[in-house]
A and B are shown apart, each in its own frame.
Chain A
Amino acid sequence: MWHIAKRELYDNLNSLRFALATVLLLGLMLTNAAVYLHEQPKRTQKYNAAVTESVNDLTVRADSLYTLAREGPGLLYKKPSSLRFCAEGGEPFLPNVVGGAFLWSISGGLKGFWRLNYPSTTPNLTDIRPNVTKVDWAFIIGYVLSLIAILFTFDAISGERELGTLRLMLANPMPRYTILIGKFLGALISIGIPLTLAVLMNLLLISTSSAVQLGPDAWERLGIIFFIAILYTGLFLALGLLVSTCVSRSAVSLVILLLIWVTFVVFVPSTLASIAGGFSSPMSTDELWQRRGELYAKRWERYDAYFAERVERSKEIQFKGEHVIAEAEEQERVNEEHLAQQIDQVKFARRTTQISPIAIAQHLIESFAGTGFERHLQFLENTRTHARQFRKFIADTDSGDPESSHIIGIRQGMSEKPVSPAAVPKFEDTLNLNQDFNAAMMDLLLLVLLFVVLLSGAYLAFVRVEV
């Protein structure tokens, strides 16, 4: 078997396609590193500046607990991943900030309380540069590597059959599967060599630069991504072998393979996503505004009804506080519902695209690189946790003040003492590998399953093939 793998390897190493693949991969990986090194420091700087500003704003508001509670924790920013070069993951289209809203005045002389509010448009409205895919690892692996894999295997069996060498090889006393596995390994190694080389060059460039630091966690992630790349290449090699076995002429084999490639790599991830997205229609922004307006009006009706009768002064404050809090909570719930519907639509679309291996691979790379949709969900979850923490902090601080009457939502009912800015919980956007790994396990299994199915398919086809 190793003999055959070695022969394949030598064959490939001398070929034109090997040289072209090496040049292509090296060029892409180096560009990727250069762009990343240019952009990442700026991105981090921007993030840090924004976070500092947000914290400074918080300090201003901390002069009284009431103001702090009313105006909220400020803007919460998504931390840029240090592995952004692995997958862009549609980051430019995803909001990198979750804000809050508070109303300067809601009628009755009351002021609205802070609630979570999610941005409703994409952040790049004024970007007039032509939009092209970013050259990230996900692109290099997903598009280029799969194409190279096809070009390495389309004639693996059919080519030898055309030349007649297959018959010669089968005349030797060895089982057929060794030939197949040998060919597979040979191709895998001969793609693995330029890939490893390119990846190493890329990482060398990135790790030697002082501008970016990759922690031990990042290297772990990179290792996994590399493994995914190899698995994905193997999958396309198996596909190539399968088609090459079934078809008698190399040219036909290539045409079939390219059509499959176009369908799965170009067509499925975008068109199918649009089709799947069309099945659900989440609440539109207009509807959201309408819902909010209705709720707001209803709340005020209740408020007016309450004050239509004479009430005690002490109870009045209590009611007003509850009114303000309930208004904010209601509105936040609608915001959440709106977001949840949007997320469900995207989730469904993403799940549908997973019939294509490239989508699986890209999702995997994204989740290990800490970018993209899954990451965005984590970020949103983090902001929610923070909002809870923040509210708990307000309640705790307030109950710690003996002068306050502990009615949150209104100035008269709350502590007026200044809050130490250091004590206010800080938002920290975190990301852990463990969680990623659990979420990605299904995808990984799916990829392995596809690989096994294709390889055994190729084996079965090859065993039955007449030479």
Chain B
Amino acid sequence: MLTLIRRELLDNLMTFRFAAAVFIMLLLVVSNTVVLIKDYERRLADYNTAVKTHHQQLQEKKTYSAGRLHVDRPPNPLSIFNIGMDKQLGNQVEVYFGFVPTLWDAKMHGSDNPIMNIFSSIDIAFIFKVVLSLLALIFAYDTLAGEREQGTLRLVLTHPVRRGHILFAKYMSAMVCLLVPLLMSVLLAVILLTTSTSISLSTDDFLRMAGFILTTIVYLSVFYLIGMLISALTRRTGTALMLSMFVWGFWVLIYPNMILASILPQPTVEARASSTFNQIEQLWEEFEREQEQYLKNDAVPGEDPGFGIGWVGGSMNRLNKDAATLQYYYKKGFNITEIDERSEPQMPHIQNYYQFLVPLTIDIADRTWRIRKPALEKIYVRPALIDRILLKVSPIGMYDTATQAWVGTDLLGIQDFFSAARQYRKTVIDFFYDKNAFASRQWIAADKGAADWSTLPQFSFQRSGIRINATRALPDIFLLLMTNIVLFIIIFLIFIKTEV
């Protein structure tokens, strides 16, 4: 057995293709890693600027109602391995008590040149999934067909070795050969990563990388086995090679691009969006009614929400709505610097009014969220998930989802940030309650003391733990492993039955 492996290994190591594989992998991975690290550093700088600006902007606000809180999503350092959705989706979202933030309300901070996006960007996973799979097939196409053509297979079989052993030896040695360029290139990438001063990696990150490499190996083995299967099925190496190349072209280039093009979005989605939007509008109409009711019943005659106060300063009263993303919220704030003395007796009333109004807004916002969340899931998330499931028919799709899950740039990883933003909204609301901010004068006016933001907890987003990454990646790794096993069994059965 070991002699067999050794023979195969030496055979493979001496070939031109092995040298070519090592060379091309190193070239591609190193040059791309340098580019990707630079890109990450720029995004990180943008992020830091954004955080600083947003912090400053908040401190400048003198009233609570005018405070605009923005939270920013830091770029993921492991996005170098698989960029996923990290760069594509919004990375800044406003946290406002009257509105539950989601991915669909996010904006982009940063100052990248948007036109540069017309160039597709390559990450390490892309190199592996395209080039490494090609190399695996190049290593595999002649393993069985070649030996059969030359007659050496017959020679080997005259010795008392089992056919299973031969297969296994071939598989092992080729995998070792393929691992050399893979590991070397990953090693170089990691070295480049660790030498970059702006990137700090934790222990978890190294474990995530290990998960990434593991997934890559399993993926690689799938393509090697596909090549071996073709080799076992064909009589001539030429045919095996041709078939392998077409199979590769189909799975890697054509299938992923074609399948998404050929499934068309359902027409019912728009109808659903508009019906949900109606529900949300009704909620806010209810909000209006309750507000009017309050103004009618309170101690002050008249229904003027301004209570006839004379003031100097700024105000904001804006309705944001977007039927496509089911966005609907009022933004109402004051930044009053001076209040007419004659209006002073009215102040307690207006404070009472906001003490009523703001919790109502929060409540309606929460109820809106309860309607909006499942609708968004149905309209946007589910089709995206179906797309991903369809992509998984190709090993490329499984590999892509698994590696994205490992490094945390998949959709779930990005959504973690938005759940954190939603959590932070609760913190902010609690902060307001603690300060009794709604009923305070500082809610609308800064003439007698400004709002105090100093005790507001800072927002910080931690990427999900390694355990969660692993749980998200496991189903796809499992699928890849199953594919491996099935392929190996098929090859074994074919090889046992073939005549030499």
Binding site for B on A (CB under 8 A): 16-17, 20, 24, 27-28, 31-32, 34-35, 38, 89-90, 93-95, 119-122, 124-135, 139, 143-144, 147, 151, 155, 159, 250-252, 254-256, 258-259, 262-263, 266-267, 269-271, 273-275, 277-278, 282, 284-288, 342-343, 345-346, 349, 353, 372-373, 376
Contacts and interface: CB of A to CB of B under 8 A. Distances in A.
23 contacts: A28-B254, A90-B119, A93-B115, A94-B118, A122-B108, A126-B325, A130-B260, A132-B257, A135-B257, A147-B249, A155-B238, A251-B142, A252-B16, A254-B241, A259-B24, A266-B130, A270-B122, A271-B28, A271-B31, A278-B38, A285-B111, A349-B119, A353-B119
A284 B16 CA distance: 47
A95 B114 CA distance: 9
Contact of B113 (A135, A267, A269, A345): A345
Contacts of A274: 35, 39, 119, 121-122
Contact of A31 (B31, B261, B411): B261
B411 A128 contact: yes
Interface residues of B, number: 68
A364 to B, nearest CB: 16
Interface in B244-300: 245-246, 249-250, 253-254, 256-258, 260-262, 264
Given A121-B107, A262-B24, A373-B115, A147 B88 contact: no
Main secondary structure, interface of A, reads: helix
Interface string B391-413: 10000000010000000000100
B285 to A, nearest CB: 26
A31 B262 CA distance: 6
Contacts, number: 186
A135 B104 CA distance: 27
Contacts of A38: 264
A317 to B, nearest CB: 28
Contact of A273 (B46, B119, B238): B119
A35 B400 CA distance: 24
A258 B134 contact: yes
A27 B125 CA distance: 27
B138 interface: yes
B89 A126 contact: yes
B113 A346 contact: yes
Contact of B115 (A28, A94, A131, A251): A94
A326 to B, nearest CB: 26
Contacts of B190: none
A94 to B, nearest CB: 7
Contact of A346 (B39, B108, B118, B387): B118
Nearest to B246: A20
Q: Which 7 A-B pairs have the closest CB atoms?
A: A284-B111, A90-B118, A273-B119, A93-B117, A285-B111, A342-B113, A35-B261
Contacts of B238: 155, 159, 250
B191 interface: no
Contacts of A90: 117-119
Contact of B118 (A93, A134, A252): A93
A130 B388 contact: yes
A17 B134 contact: no
B245 A147 contact: yes
Contact of A130 (B121, B239, B262, B387): B387
A256 B17 CA distance: 9
Interface centre among A90, A128, A256 (most CB of B within 10 A): A128
A144 B253 contact: yes
B481 to A, nearest CB: 22
A154 B388 CA distance: 35
Nearest to A152: B242
Given A31-B258, A130-B387, A143-B253, 14 more contacts: A125-B106, A126-B89, A128-B89, A130-B388, A132-B260, A133-B120, A147-B249, A255-B17, A274-B121, A274-B122, A277-B113, A286-B49, A349-B116, A376-B115
Interface in B350-380: 380
A24 B249 contact: yes
Interface string B68-95: 0000000000000000010011100000
Contacts of B249: 24, 144, 147
B415 to A, nearest CB: 9
A396 B258 CA distance: 54
B153 interface: no
B131 interface: yes
A120 B53 CA distance: 18
A27 B257 CA distance: 12
A262 B35 contact: no
Given A271-B122, A275-B35, A126 B261 contact: no
A125 B113 CA distance: 14
Nearest to B404: A130
Nearest to A16: B242
A386 B39 CA distance: 37
A38 B267 CA distance: 12
A420 to B, nearest CB: 33
B35 A251 contact: no
A267 B118 contact: no
Contacts of A134: 257, 261
Contact of A129 (B32, B38, B257, B260): B260
Nearest to B23: A259
Interface centre among B32, B237, B245 (most CB of A within 10 A): B245
B113 A282 contact: yes
Contacts of B119: 90, 269-270, 273-274, 277, 349, 353
A151 B120 CA distance: 26
A372 B117 CA distance: 12
A138 B286 CA distance: 53
A285 B261 CA distance: 34
Contact of A24 (B106, B142, B243, B254): B254
Nearest to B249: A147
A274 B108 CA distance: 20
A345 B116 contact: yes
Contacts of B107: 121, 125
A205 to B, nearest CB: 14
